[in-house]
């Protein structure tokens, strides 16, 4: 699986809360070209249903609980983003679904590339064929 759970550096200011941060290239293994965030999502909603050919991303949830299900074509794994200091690094070639387990949870993403619809694989059979072709070509 081309993913990694990371701890986002967090400074505890005591009674005044915490500050979490990461820096492109220093704390994540790519230069950040794009930030997007998903909000206003009703509890129980499922988003995703696609993979990327080249994109690397770090996902984090500053508020709420969001489950990320990753699938490499052979096996699936589930990661719960339920802590603002927890990040999920995802490399290319992984199918993902995101399930909202709490109303208004916010999913933030820092991405290695600008938005490009051509980088998406949005059909599961096409994803499996893409994975198999990758295995054939090493
Ligand atoms: C991903 C997961 C975690 C843009 O125009 N610009 C953007 O930067 C993005 C990310 C999306 N869009 C458009 C494309 C669609 O017309 O926004 C619409 C919704 O995107 P999508 O259905 O792909 O959203 P999710 O929540 O299923 O997936 C998103 C990211 O697209 C994807 O890269 O890995 O979050």
Match 């986002």 to its residue by tokens. Answer: 8
Residues with CB under 6 A from ligand 1: 34, 36, 38, 47-48, 57, 59, 96, 98, 109, 115
Q: Whose CA is nearest to atom 11 of ligand 1?
A: 115
3-state secondary structure (DSSP) of residue 82: coil
pLDDT of the residue at 138: 64
Residue ranges, the chain, pLDDT below 70: 1, 138
Q: Which atom of ligand 1 is closest in space to residue 57's alpha carbon?
A: 34
Angle at 96 between CA 104 and CA 43, to 5 degrees: 20
Q: In what order do the strands lie in the sheet with 3-7?
A: 3-7, 86-90, 57-63, 106-111, 34-38
Distance from C-alpha of 97 to C-alpha of 1, rounded to nearest angstrom: 15
pLDDT of the residue at 88: 98
Q: Are strands 86-90 and 57-63 parallel, antiparallel or unpaired?
A: antiparallel
Q: Report pTM.
A: 0.96
Q: Whose CA is nearest to atom 29 of ligand 1?
A: 48
Interacting residues of 119 by C-beta distance below 8 A, sequence separation 6+: 52, 53, 54, 55, 113
Distance from C-alpha of 110 to C-alpha of 59, rounded to nearest angstrom: 7
Catalytic residues: 50
Distance from C-alpha of 127 to C-alpha of 88, rounded to nearest angstrom: 21
Angle at 85 between CA 80 and CA 91, to 5 degrees: 60
Pocket test for ligand 1, best of 39, 48, 69, 96 (most atoms within 8 A of CB): 48
pLDDT of the residue at 59: 98
Q: Whose CA is nearest to atom 28 of ligand 1?
A: 48
Question: What's the chain's length in residues?
Answer: 138
């Amino acid at each position: 699986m081309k993913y990694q759970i990371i701890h986002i550096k967090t400074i505890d200011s005591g009674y005044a809360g915490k500050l979490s941060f990461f820096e492109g290239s220093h704390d994540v293994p790519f230069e950040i070209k794009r930030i997007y965030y998903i909000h206003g999502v009703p509890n129980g909603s499922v988003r995703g249903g696609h993979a990327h050919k080249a994109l690397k991303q770090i996902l984090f949830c500053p508020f709420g609980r969001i489950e990320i299900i990753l699938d490499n074509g052979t096996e699936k794994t589930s990661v719960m983003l339920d802590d603002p200091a927890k990040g999920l690094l995802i490399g290319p070639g992984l199918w993902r679904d995101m399930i909202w387990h709490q109303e208004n949870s916010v999913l933030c993403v820092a991405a290695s590339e600008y938005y490009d619809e051509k980088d998406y694989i949005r059909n599961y059979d096409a994803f499996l064929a893409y994975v198999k072709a990758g295995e054939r070509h090493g």
